[in-house]
Amino acid sequence: MNQINDRIAVCPGSYDPVTNGHLDIITRASRTFDKVVVGVVNQPIRKKKTLFTAEERIAFIENATAHLGNIEVQAFYTLLVEFARDNGAMAIVKGLRAISDFEYENEMAQLNYKLDAEVESFYVFARPEYSFLSSTGVKEMATFNGDISDLVPAEVAAALADRLGRS
């Protein structure tokens, strides 16, 4: 286990798939922290099955953040605070879009605090152009051949078209 360092943060999520909203939060976190570890939840609890494997989701994020020099992407299978501790992070950074996000994230922050009071939760408000954006919404749009070109990286849009049998 690494020592906790107040300049390392984790940005956790299922990222199924990663959206431009996720990438905005990751980019903004990268300007605040020396190192940001993007944690890809291997098998999310709140979702039955992911469309993309953890390896595919990691590759999408690595490709989309290659221009940032302080991003590392890993799958994780543990409690979030354990993942943070294992990476020497004292900060969890997540985005907030709406009141419903706040209610859920407030509960999670309190549970994480109970598990480890040394790991702080930081929340970044979504920019207006991403305040409606979710992976679920993107997948639904892609299923019906909607234009998602400005919502996800081009590689992700192509993979969604391929996976969902659309062109």
Active site annotation includes 67: no
Active site annotation includes 149: no
Question: Quick one: which of 152, 84, 32 has its CA closest to 161?
Answer: 152
Write down the catalytic residue from 31, 48, 67, 114: 48
Question: Quick one: which of 69, 57, 88, 63 has its CA closest to 160?
Answer: 57
Active site annotation includes 22: yes
Per-residue pLDDT tens over the stretch 70-114: 999 999 999 999 999 999 998 999 999 988 889 889 999 999 999
Active site annotation includes 135: yes
Residue 5's pLDDT is what?
A: 53
The CATH classification number of 5-131 equals 3.40.50.620
pTM reported for the whole predicted model: 0.91
